[in-house]
Structure 1
Amino acid sequence: MPSIRQSYTVTVPEELPAAAFPFLKQEMRRKGSMPGSVLVSTFVGLIINQAKNSKSTQGLVGLKNLGNTCFMNSILQCLSNTQSLRDYCLHNLHRRDLNNNSRTNTALMEEFAKLIQTLWTSSSSEAVSPSEFKTQIQRYAPRFVGYNQQDAQEFLRFLLDGLHNEVNRVSVRPRGTAEDFDHLQDEEKGKKMWSKYVEREDSKIVDLFVGQLKSSLTCSHCGFCSTVFDPFWDLSLPISKKSYGEVSLMDCMRLFTKEDVLDGDEKPTCYRCKARRRCTKKFTIQKFPKILVLHLKRFSEARRTSKLSTFVNFPLKDLDLREFASGNSTNAMYNLYAVSNHSGTTMGGHYTAYCRNPNSGEWYTFNDSRVTPMSSRAEGDGSCCCWICVWIFISGNHSCPQELNQLFCVCLSVLLCHAHSVCVCVCVCARACVCVCVCERQTKGNNPL
C-alpha cells in the first residue's frame, strides 16, 4: 500500500443545500446545527469485543504524534480499549508469561504494557509520548523505522505477532512431526489440528485474536473431499458487486465463503485420483475467535492505488455469522467496540480511532493528542451502514436495548448516535463516505466471554 503522507479536513457549509437534501433542513432544525468542519473518513477498521460498565473515566489520554505516527496511535487506542488485553497489562499478568518464557527479548511487551498502564492510571489528561514503544516496535519490525506514514493494517499484524512471540507460554516449541489426520471426521480433525497449533503458539494474544479456518476441496471427477484447517488472525473479504440494492457485510462474507471452481491452470491434484482434476473450493469458519478481524479489500485488482467506494451495510448489533460456521457454532454473534478510522486516499490521509471506554461505556474520539466525547444523539431503529470499510474487528452475543440509534446521513457531515452505553453510529455521505458502527459482544444469557 502506498505511503499516506498528508492529513486534511473537509470544510462543510453551515447551511446544506435544501434542494439537494429536502429532508435535512427540518431534521437539522429539530436536532441542532452540524459542525462546519469534519474529517471525511474512509473506514479502516472496527474492533469488537465485550466490555463491562463502571463509573471510571480512565483511559482518556491521547498519544502524541511523533511524526506521521497517527496509524500507530489509532491502533494503540483501539487495543487500549480492548478490555481483556487492557486488564492483562494493568494487572501485570503479562509478566507471569514473560517470566515463564526463556526468550531474553521481551522489551516490546514491556513497553506496550507500560504504555497501556500509563493511559489507564495517569492522573493527568495530558497526552503522553509513545516514543519508547516506537523504539521497540522499530527493533522488532524495521519497516516502521523513520517517519513515513504507514498502513495501520500492517502495523496491527506486526504488533500482535511481536506481542505474541514475547508472551508465548511455550518456551520450547516441539519439533514438527508429520501426523496423518485424514482418517478422522472433520470435527475431530479440526480439534487435533488446533491442539497441534497451540502446542507451539499459545498466548493471551492467541486466546483473543486467533480463529480456525476450514478449507474444503472437492474433486468434480470422483467426489473425494479433502479438508485443511488453518489458524487465522484476520479474514480478507472481497467487496460484493450488485447491479442494484445495497451491499452488506453479510454479502461480503458470502462472497468470501462461496464455492469457487478451480479449473485449467488452477487444477489441483486429487488425493484419490492421483491426477490433476477440476475441483471446487470452499471456506468455512471452524473456530470463531473472541475478537474477529475482518479486512474489506478496498483495492481494485487493476488499480491498486485507488479505493473501491462501494457502500457496505453493517448492523449495529448481533452480527450473526453462524451460516459461515463449519458446524453448529453457538459463539458466532458479534458486535463492535472500537474503530481504527482512515480519512483520505491511498496517497494521503489521517488515522483516528473511535473507542468505547470499557469502564464508563461512553464513546470517545481519539485523534492523536486530542480525546473528545462522542455525545450527539438521535433516536431510531438501530440499523446502520458501514461504507468504504477496510478493516473490522469483532466479538460476542449480547442483546442491545430496543432504543438503538438511527443513522441520519448528511452530505460531508457527521452525525454521531449514542443509545445508553451500547451502540454508536457515525455516518458521512460523499464520494469518500463512511459509517462507523460500534457495539459490544457477550455470550448467550448475557454472561461475559
Structure 2
Amino acid sequence: MARIKQYGSRCPHIGDYRDTIEKVCGTIYKRIVFPETAPDRARKARETLCRWCDRNLEPSLCCCLHCSHFACLTHMRMHFKEHKHVFALHLTQGHLYCYKCGDFVYDRTVEGLRRDCENGFRRIRGFTFGKHQQLWNPSQAEIEVLHSENVLVLPRDLERGLRGVLNLGNTCFISCIIQAFMHTSLLRDYFITDQHNCKVGELCLICEISSIFQEFYNGHSQDAFMPNRLLHLVWKNEKHLAGYEQQDAHEFMIAALSTMHHQARSSSLNTTTLDCKCIIDRIYTGQLQSDVRCESCGSVSRKLDPFRDLSLNVDQTTNGSVSITLAECLRKYIAPEPLDGGKGIKCENCSQVAARTQQLTLHKLPLVMCFHLKRIVHHRAKKTNIDVVYPEVLDVTEFTSPQVMKTQNGLHTSSPEHDSNEKLNSAKNRYELFAVVNHFGTTEAGHYTCFVKHNMRKWYLCDDEHISATTPEVVLASEGYLLFYHKQYIEYE
C-alpha cells in the first residue's frame, strides 16, 4: 500500500498543480460551494449550469479548476479529455476530482480549506457548534490509521437509513410519517449532529425522534424498528390520537410537528410565532399572505399567518375531467374567494356596506413543503379517488405573493437583466419530491404506505416492516395523500 505523501495527499498528480489548486479552490469554496453572501448565492443559482445540458444537475455538477468550466460529471470528463485538464471541484460537497485517477481524491490541505469554509457556512445557517461538533480534519497520524488494511470501506450505494417500522396494531399512520421524517435531509443532519438541548424531560418527543434517527442511521441493525416508545409519547402528548383504532396520517404529522415546535420553544428565548427559530419552524414553517379586499373601494387588509402544510381540495375540473394536476389545485387555493357568503359588511376604509374577497398567496416559502390532498372527508366518512398528477420537480413561483401581484397588475418587462432575475427567482422557488404517503381502503378500514427517495437518489417503498426498491414512474403514478417536497435552492439568513 502506498504511503501518504507530503500534504496528506494520495493523488500523485496534485503536486504539479498544487499552487493553482489551493488558490482556485479557496475562491470557489467561498464564492460558489459555500456562498456566504446573498449576491454569491444568487450567482450560484443563476450561473452554475452544465454548459452541455444547460441545467443545474446537482448533486453531479462540477467546476474545472483550470478554466472555470461548469459541467455535470459526465460532460466534465469529456471536457477533460478535449482540453487536457485534470482537476475539478464538486459544487455540492466541495470534493476534489482527478481525471487521471478517475475518482475523487483526498488532499489534506484542500480538505482543510473545504472544512473551514463549510464550518463558516454552517455558522451562518444559525447552527452553533462546540469544538467537538465542527467538521473533522484528520491529523497525519489519523490519516495513516484510516488507510490501514483494517479499515472497512463502505460501498457508495450503502442503504444506511433504510429500515422498516413494525406495525403495532393500526399504527401504519405513524410508520409512514416516521419514514418521511427519517428521509428529510435537513432534519436528519440536525439530529445526527446532536443539536437538540432538551429541557422538557421524559415526555420530550424531540428526544425520541432524535433517538429514532440514531437507530436508523447508526448502521448497527437492519431489523424493523419498533416504535413503542414513540407511540407512548404520542398518546401522552396528543390524547385524541390515543388508542389502537385507525388514525389519520396527516393529523398525526401536524400533531407531531406542533408538539416538537412547542417543546423546542420551551428551551428557546424566542417566543414570537412568526420569528421562531426552532428546528421545526426553520424547516417546515412558511408564511401565507392573506389579502382581504373591499369590492367597493378596493382597499386591502393584509396579514401574515404561519403554515406547515397546505391542504388542497381535490375536485373534478370544470371540464369534467377525472384528473387534476397539483398546479391546478394550487391555482384554486390562491384564487380570490368571497367572504361571509358574499354578504356585505361595513368597510373600515370607505364605511360602505360591501362584499369582500380573500386571497391567499405564498409569502415566505418553507424549506420543506408538504401538500395534503384532501381525499378523506371524516365527518362524511367519504374518500375521493380523483387522480392528481404531481411532478418530481415543482416550481411554485406562480403562487408566491410577489408573482401574483405582478400578474394582477399586468407588470411584465423583457430585458436580459429581468430575464436573469426571473431565472433566479424560479431557481429559488423550485422543489424536489422526496416522499409520498398513500392511503388505501376506506375511511373506516385502510392502510398507509410511504415512498421515500433515499439520500435523494433512489426511490423505495416503505410498507410497515417491508422495504423494496421502486422507480420514479411507480411513485408518480401513485394516488398521493401527502406529498413532501424539499427546496432545491436554500437561502440562509
Same fold (TM over 0.5): yes
Contact 1:263 1:277 in 2 (8 A): no
Structure 2: how far apart are the matches of 1:247 and 1:268? 35
Matches within 5 A, 1:177-216: 196-199=272-275, 201-216=276-291
1:253 maps to 330
* Structure 1: distance between partners of 2:203 and 2:389: 41
The 5 A counterparts of 1:37-186 are 55-95=157-197, 98=198, 103-104=200-201, 107-168=204-265, 171-172=268-269
- Asked if structure 1 preserves the Cα contact closer than 8 Å seen for 2:436 and 2:480, the reply is no
**CA 1:148/1:377 → structure 2, altered by over 3 Å: closer, same or farther?**
closer
User: Which AA in structure 1 matches 2:169?
Assistant: G
Give runs of ≥4 in structure 1 deviating > 4 Å: 50-54, 103-106, 263-266, 375-378, 384-388
Q: Residue 401 of structure 2 aligns to a residue in which SS?
A: coil
1:56/1:298 CA distance change after superposition, 3 Å: same
Q: Is the 8 A contact 1:62 1:127 kept in 2?
A: yes
AA paired with 1:251? E
Q: Residue 203 of structure 2 contacts residue 233 of structure 2 at CA under 8 Å; is this kept in 1? A: no
Provide the rounded CA distance (Å) in 2 between the counterparts of 1:75 and 1:358: 17
* CA distance in structure 1 between the aligned counterparts of 2:478 and 2:163, rounded to whole angstroms: 28
Q: Does 1:354 align with 2:451?
A: yes
> What amino acid is the match of 2:283?
L
CA shift, 1:309, in A, is 2.4
Letter aligned with residue 318 of structure 2 = K
The letter for the 2-side match of 1:224 is: S
1:309 and 2:309 equivalent?
no
Shift of 1:219: 0.7
Report the Cα distance in structure 2 between the residues aligned to 1:208 and 1:72, rounded to whole angstroms.
20
- Asked if 1:443 corresponds to 2:464, the answer is no
d(CA) in 2 for partners of 1:300, 1:73: 22
Cα deviation, 1:154-177, whole Å, max 9, x if unaligned, reads 100111111122223763566xxx
Distance 1:355 1:385 in 2: 12
CA RMSD after TM alignment: 3.0
Inter-partner Cα distance in structure 2 for 1:448 and 1:56: 30
Residue 206 of structure 1 and its aligned partner are, at CA, apart by 0.5
1:296, CA displacement in angstroms?
1.7
1:33-74 residue CA offsets vs partner (Å, 9 max, x unmatched): xxxxxxxxxxxxxxxxx9889543101221111111111011
Whose Rg is larger? 2
Which residue of the partner structure matches residue 356 of structure 2?
Answer: 279
* 2:306 matches 1:231: yes
- The verdict on how the C-alpha distance between 1:375 and 1:258 changes in structure 2, with shifts beyond 3 A counting, is closer
Q: Which runs of 5+ in 2 are unaligned?
A: 1-57, 60-91, 94-155, 404-424
Secondary structure in structure 2 of the residue aligned to 1:66 = coil
CA shift, 1:271, in A, is: 2.2
State the shift of 1:226 in Å. Answer: 0.9
Match 2:369 to one of 271, 277, 292:
292
How many residues in Structure 1 have an aligned counterpart in Structure 2?
318
Give the unaligned 5+ runs of structure 1: 1-49, 175-195, 379-383, 397-441
Alpha-carbon spacing, 1:293–1:141, altered in 2? closer, same or farther (3 Å): same
* Residue identity matched to 1:222: C
Using structure 1 for the length normalisation, give the TM-score.
Answer: 0.64
Native 8 Å contact 1:262 1:268 kept in 2: no
CA contact (8 A) 1:63 1:130 kept: yes
Q: Partner of 2:402: helix, strand, or coil?
A: coil
Does the CA contact (< 8 Å) of 2:342 and 2:356 recur in 1? no
- Return the offset for 1:128: 2.1
Shift of 1:197: 3.0
TM-score after normalising by structure 2: 0.59
Give me the whole-angstrom Cα distance separating, in 2, the residues matched to 1:132 and 1:294.
28
CA deviation after TM superposition for structure 1 residue 217, in Å: 1.0
Identity %: 30
Cα distance between partner residues in 2 of 1:121 and 1:234: 30
| 1:230 partner SS | strand
The range that moved more, 124-133 or 385-394, is 385-394
Given that residues 248 and 312 in structure 1 are in contact (C-alpha distance below 8 angstroms), is that contact kept between their aligned partners in structure 2?
yes
Residue 266 to residue 305, structure 1, CA distance change in 2 (3 Å): farther
